[in-house]
Amino acid sequence: METEQPEESEPVRRPARRRRVEGGRQHRHVVRVTPEEEGQLYALALQYRVSVPKLLVDAALAGGSTAAASNATVRHEVAAQMFATHRLLAGIANNVNQMAKATNATGDVRAEMVATLRKVREVADRIDGFVDELIGAAS
């Protein structure tokens, strides 16, 4: 089976594996499919960046393929938001370190440091709100 070449801006990622569970998974199901069904399953698994077994389990337990696709989309959106937040925090941390170094050298607290620390609090509040949304959506 030939795979498509990934776009330049998109890194190549392996399909997501299911999380490990205490004691492992004791039950196994074998599903036989036609070559056409196999192709469709692989295409869907690649589209949602999951393995075929994960796709089948998610589709069955989520109430069908539409719900499983929706769950996969939400997971990708959450991951994108978390990466964006990480980049933002890294930039802020760099600025705070630079300002702390200058403050320690001069003993002078500048207005920029107060504004940056205020922004840190805003970002932390956004993260808290995002986590609250995730918890609300999961229950």
**Digits of tens for pLDDT over the chain (139 positions)?**
444 544 555 555 555 556 777 887 778 888 888 999 899 888 888 887 778 888 787 777 776 666 666 666 777 777 788 888 888 888 888 888 888 898 899 888 888 888 888 888 888 888 888 777 776 765 5
Give the per-residue pLDDT at 39: 92
Three-class SS string for the chain? Answer: CCCCCCCCCCCCCCCECCCCCCCCCCCCCCCCCCHHHHHHHHHHHHHHCECHHHHHHHHHHHCCHHHHHHHHHHHHHHHHHHHHHHHHHHHHHHHHHHHHHHHHHHCCCCHHHHHHHHHHHHHHHHHHHHHHHHHHHHC
The pTM (predicted TM-score) of the whole model is: 0.42
